Amino acid sequence: MNIPFNKPFLTGKETDYIREAVESGKISGDGIFTRKCHQFFEARYGFKKALLTTSCTDALEMAAILCDIRPGDEVIAPSYTFVSTVNAFVLRGAKIVFADSERITPNIDVASIEQLITPHTKAIVPVHYAGLACEMDTILDVAKRHDLFVVEDAAQSIDSFYKGRPLGSLGTFGTFSFHETKNIISGEGGMLSINDEAFVARAEIIREKGTNRSAFFRGEVNKYGWMDIGSSFLPSDIIAAFLYAQLENLDSIQSRLKQIWNRYHELLEPLETQGLLELPVIPPNATNNAHIFYLVCKSLEQRTRLIGYLKERGILAPFHYLPLHNSPYYHNRHDGRALPNAERFSDCLVRMPMYYEMSVNDIEYIAGELNNFFLK
Ligand SMILES: Cc1ncc(COP(=O)(O)O)c(C=O)c1O
């Protein structure tokens, strides 16, 4: 057996659409396929505006500019996340005030947010870990009372919902990733969702190197120039062509991943019932988009042994984030608060292989080896 952690799934149409994009004669940004992708997201999820970017990292950098983050501003974000969630704000001069995770999920502990707010706080950046929604009502309520931006890091959250509302549509902005490890992919790729009309025009300018080129191409102005700060955040239409082939198959991809996730859960629930490990908890107001199937071990030592045990049996099961408040770059800048839940997930969480083409046999083999490990 040799089971990788992830394997990009191709629907079969990607290269046809790439050829179509190439033959259309326009392969820079905002071509036919980019428009199709934007329309897909706006129609399906009700985003006021969807803008493809070259990564979720880029979408986060755009969001930080749109929030007008300046040196001295503070941004509240979980420590248990990917670097890009906060690096985007640090690039604009922000200080990151790290929050702990909840006890039972890696998501931000919403009860801890209000005490972290100071007169300098400008934004809250919740991360929906594994595509499972943070408790957004509390976050939105705190943000409203303190007049803060909410940027949802929805990198892992495509087609996932909170109280029936799509993730990425609840905050001022949402940021998505289509990196090859995600449910819907384009190699590298991302998207900014904008839920307040007031930011759309500026977002288009920031995405086009600080120019009003988008308005020019729509015929709204007769020349374009330098209007604001910005960068080259838009992807080539070749990337969008790949992505569109995936989006057309979103329902079947999601349904297969959910089958895999549910099968893992069925097979491993007895180990959880016996108190030998913890399985993911789906919060009551959240749906599951089956992006990650993880286990939580009892200790770092046990997890290290488990990863080695699985590796020897041909199963690649990686851990995930290192807590950013302890990172080489930030630990001297962090205010010293202990964030024990973030550290526990960092030490004890391990992700199981998860990809469209996994067979029932693969899942049963992995579950069998987990049983051997935990019951021995
Ligand atoms: C929570 C989170 N935010 C942001 C990113 C960055 O995404 P990208 O690789 O598309 O820039 C990742 C990457 O996996 C992530 O897990």
Give, for ligand 1, the residue of 61, 179, 239, 346 to mutate: max count of ligand atoms closer than 8 Å to Cβ.
179
Give, for ligand 1, the residue of 54, 56, 129, 176 to mutate: max count of ligand atoms closer than 8 Å to Cβ.
56
Task: Output the pLDDT for position 376.
Answer: 83
Task: Output the pLDDT for position 261.
Answer: 98
Task: Output the pLDDT for position 1.
Answer: 85
User: Cα–Cα distance between 127 and 146 in angstroms, integer?
Assistant: 20
User: Cα–Cα distance between 221 and 199 in angstroms, integer?
Assistant: 19
The length of the chain, given as a count of residues? 376
Q: Helix H segments across 248-299?
A: 250-273
Task: Output the pLDDT for position 126.
Answer: 99
Task: Output the pLDDT for position 328.
Answer: 98
Task: Output the pLDDT for position 135.
Answer: 98
Cα of 68 to ligand 1 centre, how many Å? 22
Contacts of 318 (CB under 8 A, 6+ apart): 5, 307, 350, 351
Whether the CB-CB separation of 246 and 185 falls below 8 Å is answered with yes
220 token code pair: 């709204």
pLDDT per position in the chain (376 positions), as tens? 899 999 999 999 999 999 999 999 999 999 999 999 999 999 999 999 999 999 999 999 999 999 999 999 999 999 999 999 999 999 999 999 999 999 999 999 999 999 999 999 999 999 999 999 999 999 999 999 999 999 999 999 999 999 999 999 999 999 999 999 999 999 999 999 999 999 999 999 999 999 999 999 999 999 999 999 999 999 999 999 999 999 999 999 999 999 999 999 999 999 999 999 999 999 999 999 999 999 999 999 999 999 999 999 999 999 999 999 999 999 999 999 999 999 999 999 999 999 999 999 999 999 999 999 999 8
Cα of 16 to ligand 1 centre, how many Å? 28
Contacts of 344 (CB under 8 A, 6+ apart): 101, 296
Q: Helix H segments across 274-349?
A: 300-312, 340-348
Give, for ligand 1, the residue of 58, 61, 82, 183 to mutate: max count of ligand atoms closer than 8 Å to Cβ.
82
Task: Output the pLDDT for position 195.
Answer: 98
Nearest CA to ligand 1 atom 8: 56
